[in-house]
Amino acid sequence: MTLSQRLRAMLALGRVSNLPTCVSNVLVGVGVAAGDMSQAWSTPVLICLLSVVLLYVGGMVLNDAVDAPRDAIERANRPIPRGDISRTTAFWIAGVLLVGGFGLSLLLGPPAVVTCATLVAAIVAYDVLHKRFAWATPLMGICRALVYFYATVTISCGFDWLRMTPAALAILAYVTLVTIAARREAKPGARGPTGVAALLMAVSLAPAIWLRPASWRHALIAAAVLVSWQLYLVWIARSALSSPVAAGAPPRAARVIGGWVAGISLLDAWLLALLGSPQLTGAALVCFAMSLIAQQRVAGS
């Protein structure tokens, strides 16, 4: 295997096309702390962001390493079943990345260390348990919510629970629903996305009940983009129901799930608009676009 082939396998293993959604998650944490774009470029936030990136990639690699025997049956096109990377190597890579991500939190103070340790525990618990126990599925959503907390304590000593709670519940519910859908990706005859999309829109828009933005104009724009994207994914799925099966799953399934994952940044943009951070809202929308572009080269699910 050439170096470029090995690199492509590593990028696929870590699902790096989804990294922009990690960036937008961190931006929400900044927004919850009543921060602005200038704080998003501060050294502590950049350290937190690098930590989250390492933890995300490490968690994705660990997920594939743990699931390798099952993926050999259901998702033979993944790097480990395909033989591009050995399972042992994947475990080592995951361990180094997770330890490195946690190590960076030591530079950010005790609250960040505790939050990051909780995040690492949730990542490992999800990877080990999610295929064995259905109740473990929400752990993925908990991981994303913990990123909000992690970024917030990086620049603030405490939480504004009135701002954090609706945001955290929204990302937890959204990611849990997407994770449930992704678990069915490789199963022929899986139900269409209409019901899931409706639920995703409901949990995404619900924070508006509690959060009152300074500018409803920015919030309405973010909400319109979010809803339009969900409707678009339903449309492309329904227009491709007769697509041929490839590698055990309809192409539309991977495309829709990848779109939902990229849509995490749209949810983040909407939350930032509700939190009154227009510049951070724009940055989250850019993250969404970057994730979509990256998914053209590296699958998001």
Locate tokens 């994705």: which residue?
60
CA distance 227 to 238: 17
What per-residue confidence (pLDDT) applies to 151?
A: 95
| Helix, strand, or coil (residue 15) | coil
Q: What residue segments make up the domains of the chain, in order of their start?
A: 7-295
Name the phi and psi angles at 23, rounded to 5.
-60, -45
CA distance 292 to 255: 10
Tokens of 247: 């590698």
What per-residue confidence (pLDDT) applies to 266?
A: 96
Series of mean pLDDT values for 10-residue runs along the chain (301 residues): 73 88 96 79 93 96 86 77 85 95 95 96 92 82 96 84 91 92 58 74 91 83 93 78 46 78 96 92 95 86 72
pLDDT digits (tens, 9 = 90+) for 55-111: 999 999 999 888 788 877 777 778 788 878 888 889 999 999 999 999 999 999 999
| Helix, strand, or coil (residue 298) | coil
CA distance 155 to 152: 6
CA distance 197 to 204: 10
Tokens of 290: 């970057």
* DSSP secondary structure of 173-229: HHHHHHHHHHHTTTSTTPPPSHHHHHHHHHHHHGGGGT---S-HHHHHHHHHHHHHH
What per-residue confidence (pLDDT) applies to 246?
A: 44
Report CA torsion sign: 224, 226, 229, 235: negative
What per-residue confidence (pLDDT) applies to 274?
A: 94
Would you say 59 and 121 are in contact if contact means Cβ atoms under 8 Å apart? no
CATH architecture of 7-295: Orthogonal Bundle (1.10)
In the DSSP assignment, the letter for residue 43 is: H
Would you say 116 and 99 are in contact if contact means Cβ atoms under 8 Å apart? no
Name the phi and psi angles at 14, rounded to 5.
-90, 0
Verdict on whether the full-model pTM lies above 0.85: yes
What per-residue confidence (pLDDT) applies to 156?
A: 82
What per-residue confidence (pLDDT) applies to 213?
A: 79
In the DSSP assignment, the letter for residue 108 is: S
Question: First CA to last CA across the chain, in angstroms?
Answer: 24
